[in-house]
Every structure is written in structure tokens, then in C-alpha cells.
Amino acid sequence: MHETSIALSILAAIEDVFNQTPGAKKITKIKLRIGMLSLIDIEALKFALMVASRGTPAEGAEVEYTIEPPVFRCNKCGYEWSIEEDELNKLVEEYGLQSAMHLHPDIITKYFHCPRCGSTDIEIKRGRGVIIESVEIDTEA
Ligand SMILES: [Zn+2]
């Protein structure tokens, strides 16, 4: 499952931070920003994090997240816009994009055209992938 590999890369990154923190004892909180276009199953990701963190400094850490709405940009006229989650879900369902977008969120741009100039040369500026916003670490006093 894709969520498992995401969980593993998150853990690897925060363990690096942990190892570079003098006196670090335990990771207590992980804050994530999750791009809406990644269609990540949040519950599956949290579960994968819980399982994969067993026996690591991140075991039992609280996981907080925010969902980052997508921002698209037209490469022809420079127009930028966003879409609502409802609209995204409709598109995903209509074209059966669930598994494809999960791995390659950029695919969604093929189903859009610029609302201003009609160009199909569109890029995703925000709203994909998982970003670690912050990590809280307990240290020895
Ligand atoms: Zn345009």
C-alpha cells in the first residue's frame, strides 16, 4: 500500500531530525501537510505510521495534519486557481483516477483546461505530496 511507503519516508526524515537534536529522548508530535491531490487515505497513513514507528523514537507520537488545497497554474497566461474537494472528488470518480492519482497526482492536469484562456498547458503549484511541517521532540533538560 502506498500509505506505508509514505509513512516510512516520513519516519526516516523525522528520525534524521531526532538524531541531530542534542539530548533528544522522544518524538512527541508530528505535524503534516497533506496535499489534497495525493488522495491519501489519512486513516491508513496514521495506521501505517503507528505500526512502522513501533520500537523507534516516534512510537506513540501524536500525528496532526492539515490538508493543503490544490493550486493550479496555467503556463500560457499565468492564471492561478484552485478547486474544491467536492469538485476534485467528482473528477476522480468520473474518470476513475483514484489509483493513478494516488501515485501520480500530475495526471489530473490532463483533465483540466485553464478557466481563463482555455489552454491545457497546466501545472500543479501546490496540493500534492506530504510535507512534514514540524516535529516536536522531548529532550533531556
Ligand atoms: Zn490560461
**Domain assignment of residue 32, given as a range:** 2-68+127-139
Same domain, 64 and 87: no
In tens digits, the chain (141 residues) has pLDDT values of 589 999 999 999 999 999 999 999 999 999 999 999 988 999 999 999 999 999 999 999 999 999 999 999 999 999 999 999 999 999 899 999 988 888 788 888 988 899 999 999 999 999 998 999 999 999 986
Same domain, 55 and 8: yes
CA 136 to ligand 1 center in whole angstroms: 42
Same domain, 7 and 45: yes
pLDDT reported for residue 1 = 55
Sign of CA dihedral 85, 86, 88, 89: positive
For ion ligand 1, residues whose CB falls within 5 Å: 74, 76-77, 79, 114, 116-117, 119
pLDDT reported for residue 66 = 96
pLDDT reported for residue 2 = 83
Name the domain count of the chain: 2
Exposure pattern of 38-68 as b/e (b: 16+ CB <10 Å)?
A: bbbeeeebeebbeebbeeebbeebebebeeb
Same domain, 96 and 57: no
Do the beta carbons of residue 48 and residue 4 sit within 8 Å? Answer: yes
CA 118 to ligand 1 center in whole angstroms: 6
CA 29 to ligand 1 center in whole angstroms: 41
The pTM of the full predicted model, rounded to 2 decimals, is 0.85
CA angle in degrees (0–180, nearest 5) for 44-48-49: 120
Same domain, 50 and 9: yes
Q: Which CATH number fits the domain that encloses residue 14?
A: 3.30.2320.50
